[in-house]
Amino acid sequence: MTNLNLMLLVLMVAAAVWAVMARSLLKAAIGLAIASIIITIFMFEFNSPLAAVFELSVCSGLITVIFLSTIGLTRPLSHKELLALSRDRGRRYGFMPLLVIACGAILAFVFLKMPLDLEVAKNTISVGAREVLWNFRHLDLFGQIMILLAGGFGAVLLFRETNTDEW
Amino acid sequence: MSGSIAEFFWVFTVFIAMLAFAGFYCILVTRNLIRALIGLEILNKAVTLLFIVVGYITGRQALVQALVITTIVIEVVIIVVAGGVIMSVYRNDESLDARNLRNLKG
Amino acid sequence: MPSLLILVPLVGILVLNFLFKLVVRRAAFWFVLVLFATQAVITFLHAPFFYAGSADRLNPFFKVVFNVDGISFVALLCIEIVCLASLVVARYTLHDLNQRFNFTNLLLISSIGMNGMVLTSDIFSLYVFLEVAAVSSFIMIAFRRGKRSLEGAFKYIILSAVATVLMLAAIALFLLACSDTSFAAIRHGMGQSPHSNIILFAVGMFVSGLFIKAGLVPFHAWLPDAYSAAPDAVSVLLAGIVTKACGIYALIRLVVSVFGFSPGLNQVILLLGAVSVLAGALAALGQNDFKRMLSYSSISQIGYIALGLGSGTALGVAGAVFHFFNHAIFKSLLFVNSAAVAEEAHTTDMDKMGGLSSRMPVTGSTSVIGFLSAAGIPPLAGFWSKLVIIIALWKAGDIAYAVIAVLASILTLSYLLSMQRRVFFGRLRQGLEDAKEVGAGFALISVFLALIIIACGLLFPLVFNAIYASVKQILIQ
C-alpha cells in the first residue's frame, strides 16, 4: 500500500466531496473531472491501459463537456432564489465531510476486526483486452450498439426545439 | 503475500465506500436536478474503481477492461438521456429546482 | 434459433429507418405488426416441448448458448404479446405520425433489450440488456415532453441508475470470487464456498438492486409516477412487461438458476412480497386517478409473484411464473382499456367518469373480464394462479403469508370493483355523450387479450401442468 496510492485515494474522495458541496455547478463538474482523472491514473497503474484511455476521453472529457453545456444552457437561479436556497444549504450539506470521514472510519474499523483472508479465483484466460472484447463478449458488443442506437434516438428526440403538446 | 493483497483490497474498499456514500448523499439531499446527475456519476466512478481493483487482484485485467468499457458506454448514454430530460424540464418552466417536480404526489 | 429474437427487431429498425422513412410512414405500422406477429411465431417454435436446444445457426457469431427453458418461454411469450398490444394502442393514441414513428423505433429497441435479457446466461449481459430496455423506457416516457412525463421519467432514471450501481458492484464482487461472469461460473463459485462473506454481500446487493427495479415496497417510489405520467401506449408496455421482465423475471431466473434457495433469502423475499401485496392494495383503494390506481395494483400483483417465489418450492415457483403470465395479460388489458377511456373522455380522473359501458360496450365488457381475472374470480386465469401460490405457501409452512395473500385478494376485489363501478357502470355523466369505441384495432386487441384470459382459465390443467413440469425440471438441476 504505497503512500502515493493513499494520497491519490484521499484526493479522489476530496474531489468528490467538493463536487457535491460546491455552490457553483461549474465547480462541481470540474470536481467530477478531477475524480475521473485520478481514476484514470489508477487504471494506468493497474495495467489497464485500454480502460484508462476510454475513461479519460469519455468520462473526464465527453461527460464533462455534456455537463458544462447543460449548465451553460440553463439559466442560473435569480438572486432571490439564490438567497433562499443558500440559507438552508449549510444545514443540508454542512455535515457532509464529517459524515464521509465517519463512514470511512467505521468501515476501516469493521474491516480491521474481520479476518483478512480473501479467496481469490484463479485466472484462466491470458489474452489481451482487445481479444476478450472481440472474441468472447459478442453479446455485450451487440448490447452496446443497441444502447448507442437508443441514445441516439434519445438525443434527437429530447434536444429538439419544437413545442410540447401534452399535459 | 495473500495478506498484503487482502490489505490492499480492504483499503481500496474503504475509499470506494466513502465515494459511494458521497454519491448517495448527493442524490438524497440535493434540490438541483443537475447535481443529482453529478451524484449519479460519482456512484458510477466508485463502481468503476471497484471493477479495476478486482481485476488487478485476480489478474484478470483483460476481462475487467472489457466490462468497464461497456459500463462507461452505458453510463454516457444514460447521462445524455438524463441531460435531455433536464433540458426539457428547464424549457418547460425555466427552473431546475427539484421541488417543482412535485406534481405527481398522491 | 433464439438469436433470431434479438436480430429480427434490429432488421426491423434498419428497414424502418432506411426504407419506410423515405417512402411511406403509414405502412410502418403494418410492417411492425407483422414483425411482432413473426416474433410470436418464432417464440412458439421454441416451446420447450419441441425445441430441445438444437443448433443455433447464428451461434458462431454470438459465441454464447441461448437457452430457452420453461420460465424463459413464458416470459418471451409475454413480451411479444404485450409489445403487440402496445403497438396497437400507439396507433390510436399517438396522433402525430412522427411521434408514432419514433415510438415504434423505441419499441423495437426495447423488445431487443428484453428478449436479450430473457435469453442470456451471463450476468453481465443481463445487466447490459436490462440497461437497453431501461434506457428505451426512459426515452419513451419522456419523448412527448409534457411536464408530468418528464417528472416521472427523471425519477425513474435516478432510481433505476441507483439500482444499476448496486447490481454492478455485486457483479464486481462475483468476479472476485468466481472465475467468470456466466451463470454456471457463479453457481460453481457459490457451491464451492457458500459461506463466504463476500458472496453473501454480493447476493444481497444484487437482489436489492432487482427489488428496486421490480418495484417491491419499500423501493417502489418511482413506479406510480412513471406509469401514470407516461403516454398511454408506453404505460401498457411498462406495466405489461418492462418492469416485470427487468425486475421480477430477473429475480426468478437468478434465484432459481444461480443463487439457489436459502432460508434467509426466502424470508426476505416473502417479507417484501407480503408488504408489497398489502401496501399496494391499500394505496390503490384511495386513488382517484385511473392509471395511478392500476400502477399501485401492479405493485400488489408483483408482490404476489414474489410470494410465490419466496415459498421455495417448485409449486410456488410455477405459480409465480403462471401469475407472471396472467398479470402481463390482464394488466395490459386494463391499461388498454384505460387508454381507450382516456382517449374518449380526455381525462383519467375517475370522479369525472361514469356509465361509459353504455357508450363503449367492448371496452366495458373486456374490462370486466380483466378485473375479474385480477381479483381472482374463478374460472378465469387469475384465480388459478393465486390459488396455486396460496396453496404453495400453505404447504411450505408459511401460513401467515398465505393468510395475507388471501386478505389482499379481498382488497384487490374491492378496489377493482370500485374502479369498474365508477368508470363503466352507473349513469352516463354529462359531458360524455359522444364517447364511442376508439376504433376497430382497439376493440380487436381488447377482445384478443380477454380471450387469452378466458382460455387460460378454462384450460388451466393443461397450461399449468406444462409450466409445473418444466419448473420441476429446472429446479432439479
Q: How near does any CA of chain B get to the CA of C150, in Å?
A: 6
Can you tell me the mean pLDDT for C330-355? 84
Query: What ipTM is given for this predicted complex?
Result: 0.92
The per-residue pLDDT for C130 is 94
C157-181 tens-digit pLDDT:
999 999 999 999 999 999 888 878 8
Cα dihedral A121, C263, B47, B22, rounded to 10, equals -140
Minimal-distance CA residue of chain A relative to B61: A48
Flag if A166 and C149 touch (Cβ within 8 Å). Answer: yes
The per-residue pLDDT for A75 is 65
The per-residue pLDDT for A138 is 82
pLDDT band at A167 (very low <50, low <70, confident <90, very high): very low
Cα dihedral B57, B62, B64, B66, rounded to 10, equals 170
The per-residue pLDDT for C98 is 82
The per-residue pLDDT for C114 is 92
C49-87 tens-digit pLDDT:
545 555 455 565 666 767 777 788 888 888 989 998 998
B71-101 tens-digit pLDDT:
999 999 999 999 999 988 888 876 666 666 6
How many residues comprise chain A? 167
C350 Cβ neighbours under 8 A, 6+ residues apart: C287, C288, C289, C290, C293, C419, C422, C423
Neighbours of chain A (3+ CB pairs under 8 A): B, C
Minimal-distance CA residue of chain B relative to A101: B18
- Cell numbers at C205, concatenated: 446487493
Concatenating the DSSP letter of every residue in C12-44 gives HHHHIIIIITTS-SHHHHHHHHHHHHHHHHHHH
pLDDT band at B1 (very low <50, low <70, confident <90, very high): very low
* Mean pLDDT score across all residues of chain C: 85
Residues of A with CB under 8 A from a CB of C: 114, 118-124, 135-140, 142-144, 146-147, 149-151, 153-154, 157-158, 164-167
The per-residue pLDDT for C60 is 59
Res. A166: pLDDT tops 60: no
Fold entry, domain B3-96: Helix Hairpins (1.10.287)
Flag if C172 and B50 touch (Cβ within 8 Å). Answer: yes
Res. B105: pLDDT tops 50: no
The amino acid present at C136, given as its one-letter code, is S
Domain definitions of chain B by residue range = 3-96
Q: How near does any CA of chain B get to the CA of C9, in Å?
A: 20
**C-alpha–C-alpha distance, residues C140 and C114, integer Å:** 15
Q: Where is average pLDDT lowest: A147-161, C174-188, C346-360, C454-468?
A: C346-360
**C-alpha–C-alpha distance, residues C380 and C452, integer Å:** 10
- Cell numbers at B24, concatenated: 448517495
Paired residues of B97 in beta bridges: B32
Can you tell me the mean pLDDT for C266-294? 89
Closest Cβ–Cβ partner in B23, B59, B76 for A58: B76
C199-235 tens-digit pLDDT:
888 899 999 999 999 888 888 888 888 888 888 888 8
* Mean pLDDT score across all residues of chain A: 81
A160 touches chain B (CB under 8 A): no
C56 touches chain B (CB under 8 A): no
Neighbours of chain C (3+ CB pairs under 8 A): A, B
User: Which of A151-160, B56-65, C126-135, C198-207 is modeled with the greatest confidence?
Assistant: C126-135
The amino acid present at C128, given as its one-letter code, is V
Q: What percent of chain B has pLDDT over 70?
A: 85
Q: Where is average pLDDT lowest: A65-69, C95-99, C118-122?
A: C95-99
Res. B103: pLDDT tops 60: no
- Cell numbers at A52, concatenated: 484508462
C434-463 tens-digit pLDDT:
677 777 888 888 888 999 888 888 888 888
Q: Which of B96, C149, B98 is nearest to A73 (CA)?
A: B96
Q: How near does any CA of chain C get to the CA of B54, in Å?
A: 6
Q: Which residues of C touch A138 (CB under 8 A)?
A: 61-64
CA triple A148-A154-A156, angle to 5 deg = 105
**C-alpha–C-alpha distance, residues C380 and C372, integer Å:** 7
C108-161 tens-digit pLDDT:
999 999 998 988 888 999 999 999 999 999 999 988 888 888 888 999 999 999
Can you tell me the mean pLDDT for C255-264? 83
C351-407 tens-digit pLDDT:
777 777 777 888 888 888 888 888 888 888 888 889 999 999 988 887 888 899 899
The per-residue pLDDT for B106 is 37
A14-57 tens-digit pLDDT:
999 999 988 888 899 999 999 999 999 999 998 889 899 999 99
Q: Contact at 8 Å (CB) between C393 and C311?
A: yes
Flag if C112 and A136 touch (Cβ within 8 Å). Answer: no
Q: Higher-confidence residue: C29 or A13?
A: A13
Entry pTM: 0.92
- Cell numbers at C469, concatenated: 413440469
Q: Where is average pLDDT lowest: A153-157, C40-44, C222-226, C442-446?
A: C40-44
The amino acid present at C161, given as its one-letter code, is A
The per-residue pLDDT for C378 is 82
The per-residue pLDDT for C473 is 80
Q: Contact at 8 Å (CB) between C86 and C80?
A: no
The dihedrals phi and psi of C289, each to the nearest 5 degrees, come to -95, 130
Q: How near does any CA of chain B get to the CA of C151, in Å?
A: 6
The per-residue pLDDT for A125 is 56
Q: Where is average pLDDT lowest: A154-163, C119-128, C271-280?
A: A154-163
> How many CB pairs below 8 A link A and B?
219
The dihedrals phi and psi of C182, each to the nearest 5 degrees, come to -80, 160
Closest Cβ–Cβ partner in A62, A125, A159 for B87: A159
Can you tell me the mean pLDDT for A113-136? 63
Q: Contact at 8 Å (CB) between B6 and A116?
A: yes
